[in-house]
Amino acid sequence: MQITRRRFLAATAAAGTLLPAGARRLWAATALDLGGGATLETLSDGTLVLPASFVLGDLPADAAGAILAAAGLEPAAQFTAPCNVTLFRDGARTVLFDAGAGRGFVDSAGRLPEALDAIGLAPEEVTHVLFTHGHPDHLWGILDEFEEPLFPSAELVMGRLEHAYWTDPATAETIGPMRAGFAAGAARRLEVLGDAVRLVEDGEEVLPGITARLTPGHTPGHMAFAVGAAGGQALVLGDAVGNHHLAFARPDWPAPSDQDAAAGAATRAALLAELAGSGVPIVGFHLPDGGIGRVGRGGAEGGYRFIAA
């Protein structure tokens, strides 16, 4: 397998008011050649600006600070997280893993349509959209500004457990006030999509060569997807591993962004141990440098480290 970096330019017209007049937005994509004409690449949906409480929570300040310093970061009031949407193409299928945030979540995200335009891919050409989970930055971009599906020709796929969670009216009452809007937004979009969403189970081969894998904790039914082709395989992680510093160095620590912190830590620790041993490439939605890389041993605190492509 070969990993490459490519850069694309998108016109200012698609970039709204975020760039000065006459400027052009630079989009970067990292591509992983899986062999047999199959590729995985990541496209930027923009970024999230996260409060420190969403990253650090009640973690021990000194130890967390040392891990951040080893990653070239410092404790801060806010952290910026990239949003990498994964695109798989094999000549017959054009598959997106997640749909980005759309324009209804935060101003810094929702740029996937621009990234697709930059590589010359029309939404009508997408054949499948596979959701890792129902958080806004992964699901809300499935509808356009007219509340119509952005990818009209695509089959939509979500884990059955995840779909049941976000369509349950009780979720809005139990998810907590900070995430109540997440529940309302997911329920509304899934109601619009209705029976167009195909529900799948843990271990199911969703498409030839693409298998769903339950990775709970960040959300109850969070799915990763193992993607294989003639020349190799990769694991699309979604948010099962949410950053390249604390999550790798101390996967056993609770992550404030996980809805079930204990389950998330158990999932993360098992995944990273497995991936460090196998060397299988990973794609992380919020990992840096395009999100494609591998898991290495010997990170800060004796844990793991993200080796970017």
- 159-178 residue pLDDT tens: 999 999 999 999 999 999 99
Give the per-residue pLDDT at 231: 62
CATH fold group of domain 2-308: Metallo-beta-lactamase; Chain A (3.60.15)
Mean pLDDT score of the chain: 90
Supply φ then ψ for residue 115, to 5 degrees. Answer: -65, -40
Query: Encoding tokens for residue 233?
Result: 């395989």
For the segment 232-242, the average pLDDT, to the nearest whole number, is 95
| Residue 167: strand, helix, or coil | helix
β-bridge pairing 282-284 and 292-297: antiparallel
Q: Where do we find the tokens 């806010």?
A: 78
Cα 127 off chain centre by: 19
The span from the CA of 56 to the CA of 64, in Å, is 8
The span from the CA of 272 to the CA of 63, in Å, is 20
Residue type, 219: T
Confidence bin at 74 (pLDDT 50/70/90): confident
- 269-309 residue pLDDT tens: 999 999 999 999 999 999 999 999 999 998 667 799 999 98
Give the per-residue pLDDT at 62: 93
Give the per-residue pLDDT at 3: 54
- Interior CA angle at 132 toward 231 and 102, to 5°? 115
Of 168 and 24, the one with more pLDDT = 168
- 130-144 residue pLDDT tens: 999 999 999 999 999
Give the per-residue pLDDT at 210: 96
For the segment 19-42, the average pLDDT, to the nearest whole number, is 68
Count Cβ atoms within 10 A of the Cβ of residue 74 and give its class: 0-12 exposed, 13-18 middle, 19 or more buried.
exposed
- 143-160 residue pLDDT tens: 999 999 999 999 999 999
For the segment 11-17, the average pLDDT, to the nearest whole number, is 33
DSSP summary character for residue 163: H
Does residue 182 carry a pLDDT above 60?
yes
For the segment 88-107, the average pLDDT, to the nearest whole number, is 96
Give the per-residue pLDDT at 25: 40
Q: Residues 121, 94: contact at Cβ < 8 Å?
A: yes
Q: Domain segments of the chain: what residues?
A: 2-308
Q: Residues 34, 57: contact at Cβ < 8 Å?
A: no
The span from the CA of 269 to the CA of 67, in Å, is 17
For the segment 67-74, the average pLDDT, to the nearest whole number, is 91
Residue 141 to residues 71, 202, 234, Cα–Cα distance (Å): 31, 24, 24
Residue 272 to residues 87, 240, 268, 269, Cα–Cα distance (Å): 23, 10, 6, 5
Does residue 181 carry a pLDDT above 70?
yes
pTM for the model: 0.91
Give the per-residue pLDDT at 23: 32
For the segment 248-252, the average pLDDT, to the nearest whole number, is 96
Give the per-residue pLDDT at 9: 45
- Interior CA angle at 293 toward 198 and 163, to 5°? 20
